[in-house]
Amino acid sequence: MFSYYGSKSKVVDLYPSPKFGKIIEPFAGSARYSLKYFDRDVILVDKYEKLIAIWLWLQKCSKNDILKLPKMKAGENTDNYNFDCPEAKWFMGFIIQGGVNAPRKTVSSVGNFGQAVEREKERIASELFKIKHWQIRHGSYSEIENTEATWFIDPPYQFGGEYYIKSNKALNFQQLGEWCKSRSGQVIVCENTKADWLPFYPMRKMQGSQYTTTEAIWSNYRHDFQAVQSSMFEPRHLTPLALDGANAPDSQQSFPADVLDGDGVLLEPPRQ
Ligand SMILES: C[S@@+](CC[C@H](N)C(=O)[O-])C[C@H]1O[C@@H](n2cnc3c(N)ncnc32)[C@H](O)[C@@H]1O
């Protein structure tokens, strides 16, 4: 929905379409997969409190609540503006920088970022209707009831997922692998090819801000990255409301994660 570190915005079209009417994202982040298929019964769970607080605030927002957020220029600081609530400020803290893992305070000075922020506000305002019916919860993946659904599982990478506020350091990947295999319905797991906790198939090389990695997938259903081109025979299950306009790539550049201040807010990243 909004720019976030590790969001699947650029690769969301590579994943198999959902086979079930319910989509569960246990590691929701900015939930790009659910946004693409927004008209399903979507359940989002994430362990990062601020992120879920933003999601719950967005669910209540009107278009005008987003459009009236301050128009900020490159280098300006959110502390110098008034916001109606902390969630509005944290949300702004995500969109004033590209692909960050926690709210920042100053608007990126890369290119004409102020204009990019205005476009992002307009896009998000126009997509608010998509998330009104979603269930959004704070918690751990392991607390979710095992119901039949399409499970889109995108945890912090085993190698490279250190920079999330709720990072890979607290995950037991062997247990997570067993948990993924035991889900009911269709399971799609995202990783990169360095991971060894499930037999992942390579998808596409991705140039990050620091490293090039290869996105990888594991699924209990056949998919395009096994030699068999199954998707040719499995049409997408569209429902009348699916507009498919939700997967535009982030216009923003990704930054490496870096140092946190006492409030869990990231300090400015080192510029390269
Ligand atoms: C790779 S990101 C998800 C990105 C998402 N697919 C998107 O498109 O934006 C991983 C997310 O998992 C969350 N997370 C980490 N540990 C978790 C846990 N035990 N339970 C639930 N969420 C967790 C992090 O807070 C982070 O938001």
Q: How far does the centroid of ligand 1 lie from the alpha carbon of residue 173, in Å?
A: 14
Residue 52's pLDDT is: 98
46 lines ligand 1 (CB under 6 A): yes
The set of residues, in sequence order, having a beta carbon less than 8 Å from that of 245 and lying 6+ positions away, is: none
**Rounded distance, CA 162 to CA 158, Å?**
8
- Of 254, 250, 265, 214, give the one whose Cα is nearest residue 5: 254
Asked if pLDDT for residue 265 goes beyond 50, the answer is: no
Chain mean pLDDT for the chain: 85
pTM for the full predicted model: 0.84
- Of 136, 123, 175, give the one whose Cα is nearest residue 47: 136
253 lines ligand 1 (CB under 6 A): no
Domains of the chain: 12-47+139-259 (3.40.50), 54-131 (no CATH)
pLDDT tens readout for residues 81-102? 999 999 999 999 999 998 999 9
C-alpha separations of 264 from 48, 49, 105, 133, 267 in Å: 11, 11, 12, 30, 9
Q: How far does the centroid of ligand 1 lie from the alpha carbon of residue 78, in Å?
A: 25
Residue 227's pLDDT is: 62
Q: Which atom of ligand 1 is nearest to the CA of 12?
A: 8
Q: What distance, in Å, lies between the first and last C-alpha atoms of the chain?
A: 27
pLDDT tens readout for residues 165-189? 999 999 999 999 999 999 999 999 9
**Contact call for residues 189 and 153 (beta carbons, < 8 A):** yes
Q: How far does the centroid of ligand 1 lie from the alpha carbon of residue 167, in Å?
A: 8
**Rounded distance, CA 21 to CA 133, Å?**
13
